[in-house]
Amino acid sequence: MRGPIFEFEKEILRKERELKRVVSAFGKSSEEVRKLSAEVEKLKEKIYRNLSPWQRVQIARHPARPKTLDYLRNIFSEFVELKGDRLFRDDPAIVGGLARIESFKVVVIGHQKGRDARESAYRNFGMPHPEGYRKAIRLMKLADKFLLPLITFIDTPGAYPGVGAEERGQAWAIAESIKCLFEISVPVISVNIGEGGSGGALALGVANRLFLLENSYYSVITPEGCASIIWGDSKKAAQAAATLKLTSKDLLSLDLIDGVIKEPLGGAHKNPESVYYEVRKAILENLQKLVKVKPEALKKERREKFRRIGEFSS
């Protein structure tokens, strides 16, 4: 699935089409091809190394970007999905279950989006209902009961704000999920693989280690929502994105996350295998350290990390 071409990528696309025509006319080994290939790579470097916050948000939302289930299939083995909240129904916007990563038995939970219109509707565009968070809580408690490290993947524009969701306790479910993450005694590692919107993301993001992929974002609100509230115009989303300080680079500089996982030029969808490798490496390196930490110290670390957010030096 190729997906959309963003405005800032159109110049690259034109150059790539020109390169194809030159290859067709002169062959792959010609001097003209080598020269134009170098120009294309230089252009990619120039554009992708200098993306604006709004452009990174667009990449974070690319439909071809790897989703939670892609990471589960390519990083973990023996994944067994567990469904349902035992109260209402299963929510396809959150997936989770038991898995293994090398020698570690773990519980994994993540937001799940779709790739096409039909799947996106089924997954509710990655926006969970309260039953999705109640399912997540059930899996968190399962991890705690059997002393299994917990790995979460964040990728949501936010929790679903519909009337039905609110009637079934959306705010309560998010709050309970956050509370549960503070209380469990096992290591928690979270990886933001795309969008990280508001409480819907935070419900899976209270972790001992929180990583963002290079082109993912984490924010109290979407840029469009912020622009609508502040300026009464959602078309000012680019301005809002710059103001919100939502990029991985911004968040790392503010000491709100523990690290940034590099992506290939243009985003994770350009070379998913390289991203799976880097995410797997980050998870394993931190698991090996965190499993040696005592349960009370793990809980204390999570509490203190979030209490520090918003503090200002005098």
- The predicted structure's pLDDT at residue 313: 45
Percentage of the chain with pLDDT > 70?
A: 97
Say what the pLDDT of residue 314 is: 39
**Could you report the per-residue pLDDT of 195-237, keeping only the tens digit for each?**
999 999 999 999 999 999 999 999 999 999 999 999 999 999 9
pLDDT for res 309: 82
User: pLDDT tens digits, residue range 276-290?
Assistant: 999 999 999 999 999
For the whole model, what pTM was predicted? 0.92
What DSSP string runs through the chain?
Answer: ------GGGHHHHHHHHHHHHHHHHH-TTSHHHHHHHHHHHHHHHHHHTT--HHHHHHHHT-TTS--HHHHHHHH-EEEEE----SSS---TTEEEEEEEETTEEEEEEEE---SSHHHHHHTGGG---HHHHHHHHHHHHHHHHTT--EEEEEEES-----HHHHHTTHHHHHHHHHHHHHH--S-EEEEEEEEEBHHHHHTTT--SEEEEETT-B-BSS-HHHHHHHHTS-GGGHHHHHHHHT-BHHHHHHTT-SSEEE---TT-GGG-HHHHHHHHHHHHHHHHHHHTTS-HHHHHHHHHHHHHHTT----
**CATH architecture of the domain with residue range 56-308:** Alpha-Beta Complex (3.90)
User: Can you give the pLDDT at residue 311?
Assistant: 67
Provide the residue ranges of all domains of the chain, joining segments of one domain with +: 7-50, 56-308
The residue ranges of the chain whose pLDDT is under 70 are 1-2, 310-314
